[in-house]
Amino acid sequence: MNWDAWVTLGVTGLVFGLLAGTQISPDVILCGGVTLLVTLQVLTPAEAIAGMANEGMVTVALLFIVAVGLRETGGMAMLMQPLLGHPRSLPQAQTRLMAPVVVMSAFLNNTPLVAMLLPVASDWGRRYQLSVSKLLMPLSFASILGGTCTLIGTSTNLLVSALLAKEPGMPRLALLDMAWVGLPCALIGGGFMLLSSRWLLPERRKAAPVADDAKEYTIEMLVEPGGALEGQTIEQAGLRNLNGMYLMEINRDKQVLAAVSPHERLWGNDQLVFVGVVESIVDLQRMRGLIPATDQLFKLSEPRGKRRLVEAVVSSSCPLAGQTIRDGRFRTVYNAVVIAVTRNGERLRQKIGDIILWPGDTLLLETHSWFADKHRNSRDFYLVSRIEDSAPPRHERVWTSVGILGLMVALMIVGLMPPLNAVMLAAGLMILTKCCSAATARRSINWQVIIVIAAAFAMAQAMENTGAALAVAQTLLGLAGDNPWAALAMVYGVTMLFTNVITNNAAAVLIFPIALETAHSLGVSPVPFMMALMMAASCGFATPIAYQTNLMVYGPGGYRFSDYLRFGGPLSLLLWGVTVTLTPLFWPF
């Protein structure tokens, strides 16, 4: 190896050491590594920033917009809620999440799948007090395992298949050929995650318990006639075990149903009285089939999709202090609707309009997006603060967002458009059809993830350009000798190593000619080597930079670099053994 190759290996080792042993943000570490390679003239500035124009990176960025469109309309929650259901334990929750993901990722690209499910899984975990760090890494790994089951499950499979088809006399792989090995790996891998996550997967972000002295509101919600919840029981509707909130009573036809049974069925126009914290009220606002009971909301000038929840504390100089909310004409004065009131922890049982405002009362308002800025320094309120992510869902556009998702998936599966084109079209349609606003779309992009992906591409480029990757691969494969089983195991192992150090597609392209030459030199069929190559290039579990979905859950899950090695490392070794054992049985040497 030349000097550049040794420098690249040294910088790569330093980056991995910092990722594994420090709490420094991964985007800072990777960008620092790329900067060092540019300073040492291993990479040119153009090569260093080429990752920002990489199709994979741009696709991930645009998928955040598609995902937020689905979230803003409740589309993905509507599709996934019947599958996710109401788990009673963490293993049950992981099973409910991973099983459909494995099936869907066999026929859909796993990157958009994880991008769309990530906010759903996070909200679902919070609702049922499940640690998000116990859900998101299994989500990523399940999507990777599902992708190994078919030829179209990952771009790596398609890439290796195309390379193999160019070789004279080589067979064309069918859609389900991979399933003979991919399906057992998915089942065994899924079982391993369920059994081992309790010990090997750290709980980096615990489910936040609600404090005993938390500020609670009493809020009324109306069951929308003909809506999604009419006819369901309390348990089926997911209203039984809400985190930080409970259903106190139901008002139905002037009758009060207290101590509501989980088997009680909901009727249209039922008024549900909840007691809980503000975060849970935001969750209620997002549920299809529930609307705030006050009819004052329909009289606000702002479209509902542009409104936000705001907390405001009434001051002693407020002109409405001492008056009821109705008599003081609160909505007319402030262009805001009071949907709940709390007073020193006391639960106010009156109707909202009949509550007399006193200094110190905390009001939960639904109002226009600029209310907080306008009244931040007003003498009418001691304090005004926005509630983050509290925009009411645009449920009227739910089928529009689902239709856009279906169009994007269909274009990908049929092959009428490359993935980037299909995702660009879907993201544009989400904004044009007002499933999400342009401002929300801009805020939805996780720039830390994007920077990490772009920097990872630059590091991989340095490994390829300098010949460091090729030299290491040839040295390791030379240790296999003349035994085809040992050579197959070494091909898998080397590919797995480079998948976790560079990227899956780069590892596949790099090892393909070496694996092909190894098979020819041994006088055996190259097909089992290609199958092992595809499996190894797809199964990147031991590092966050091994696969784009791993990077996408890195920040939201609160993970550390070592968590992937601790949980994904044994999984990688297990699948190594399964693949090397099964592959020659279905595709003999």
Residue 158 lies in a domain: yes
Give DSSP secondary structure letters for 400-434. HHHHHHHHHHHHHHHTSS-HHHHHHHHHHHHHHTT
Residue 273, φ and ψ in degrees, nearest 5: -105, 115
**pLDDT band, very low/low/confident/very high, at 189 (cuts 50, 70, 90):** very high
Same domain, 62 and 164: yes
Q: Is the pLDDT of residue 305 over 70?
A: no
Same domain, 382 and 507: no
Same domain, 154 and 98: yes
Same domain, 327 and 253: yes
Same domain, 17 and 100: yes
**pLDDT band, very low/low/confident/very high, at 459 (cuts 50, 70, 90):** confident
pLDDT at 368: 85
Q: Is the pLDDT of residue 170 over 90?
A: no
Q: Is the pLDDT of residue 209 over 70?
A: no
Reduce the DSSP state of residue 18 to 3 states and report it: helix
Q: Which two tokens stand for residue 113?
A: 């799948």
**Whole-angstrom Cα distance, residue 153 to residue 350?**
56
| Domain edge (last residue) among 386, 412, 432 | 386
**Whole-angstrom Cα distance, residue 491 to residue 526?**
11
Q: Is the pLDDT of residue 298 over 80?
A: no
H or E, element range at 521: helix 504-522
Q: Which two tokens stand for residue 67?
A: 């995902």
Q: Is the pLDDT of residue 462 over 60?
A: yes
pLDDT at 9: 83
Same domain, 80 and 126: yes
| Domain edge (last residue) among 386, 409, 434 | 386
**Whole-angstrom Cα distance, residue 96 to residue 104?**
13
Q: How large is the average pLDDT for residues 294-308?
A: 70
Q: Is the pLDDT of residue 455 over 60?
A: yes
Q: Which two tokens stand for residue 248?
A: 């106190």
Residue 467 lies in a domain: yes
Burial class of residue 303, CB neighbours in 10 A (0-12, 13-18, 19+): exposed
pLDDT over 90, % of the chain = 23
Q: Is the pLDDT of residue 241 over 90?
A: no
Residue 421 lies in a domain: no
Q: What is the b/e burial string over 250-266, where b = at least 16 CB atoms within 10 angstroms of the residue's CB?
A: bbbeeeeeeebeeebeb
pLDDT at 572: 95
Same domain, 167 and 250: no
Give DSSP secondary structure letters for 543-583. SGGGSHHHHHHHTTTT--HHHHHHHHHHHHHHHHHHHHHHH
Same domain, 467 and 534: yes
pLDDT in tens, 501-537: 776 776 777 677 778 777 877 888 888 989 999 999 8
Q: How large is the average pLDDT for residues 179-190?
A: 95
Same domain, 476 and 515: yes
**Whole-angstrom Cα distance, residue 417 to residue 187?**
32
Q: Which two tokens stand for residue 535?
A: 């499996």
Residue 244 lies in a domain: yes
Query: What is the domain extent for residue 505?
Result: 6-204+448-586
The average confidence (pLDDT) of the chain is: 84
Angle of helix 136-147 versus helix 90-105 axis, rounded to 10: 30
pLDDT at 376: 85
Residue 579 lies in a domain: yes
Q: Is the pLDDT of residue 211 over 60?
A: no
Q: Are 268 and 224 in contact (CB under 8 A)?
A: yes
pTM above 0.75, yes or no: no
Residue 248 lies in a domain: yes
Q: What percent helix, strand, coil does the chain show, rounded to 5?
A: 60, 10, 30
pLDDT in tens, 79-117: 787 788 888 889 999 999 999 999 988 877 777 788 778
Residue 422 lies in a domain: no
**pLDDT band, very low/low/confident/very high, at 17 (cuts 50, 70, 90):** confident
Residue with tokens 């694996």: 515
How many CB atoms are located within 10 Å of the residue 6 CB?
A: 13
Same domain, 148 and 257: no
Q: How large is the average pLDDT for residues 293-307?
A: 70
Same domain, 198 and 280: no
pLDDT in tens, 311-336: 999 999 999 999 998 899 898 899 88
Report angle CA 123, 448, 411 to the nearest 5 degrees: 70
Residue 84, φ and ψ in degrees, nearest 5: -75, -40
pLDDT at 390: 75
**pLDDT band, very low/low/confident/very high, at 425 (cuts 50, 70, 90):** very high
Which is more confidently placed, 299 or 270?
Answer: 270
Long-range interactions of 255-263: CB distance < 8 A, separation 24+: 260/234, 261/234, 262/233, 262/234, 262/235, 263/233, 263/234, 263/235
Which is more confidently placed, 301 or 446?
Answer: 446
Which is more confidently placed, 100 or 2?
Answer: 100
Give the up-direction half-sphere exposure of residue 471: CA atoms within 13 A in the CB hemisphere.
14
Q: How many domains does the chain have?
A: 2
Q: What is the b/e burial string over 58-81, where b = at least 16 CB atoms within 10 angstroms of the residue's CB?
A: bbbbbbbbbbbbbbbbbbbbbbbb
Same domain, 157 and 87: yes
Task: Give the CATH number, domain containing residue 296.
Answer: 3.30.70.1450
Which is more confidently placed, 139 or 53?
Answer: 139
**Whole-angstrom Cα distance, residue 221 to residue 3?**
69
pLDDT in tens, 524-573: 888 898 999 999 988 889 988 888 889 889 888 889 888 999 999 999 99
pLDDT in tens, 22-67: 778 778 888 888 899 999 888 888 888 887 777 767 877 887 888 7
pLDDT at 294: 74
pLDDT at 380: 92
**Whole-angstrom Cα distance, residue 74 to residue 581?**
44
Residue 478 lies in a domain: yes
| Domain edge (last residue) among 365, 386, 407 | 386
In this predicted structure, which of 104-113, 217-226, 360-369 has the lowest mean pLDDT? 104-113
pLDDT at 57: 73
Reduce the DSSP state of residue 276 to 3 states and report it: strand
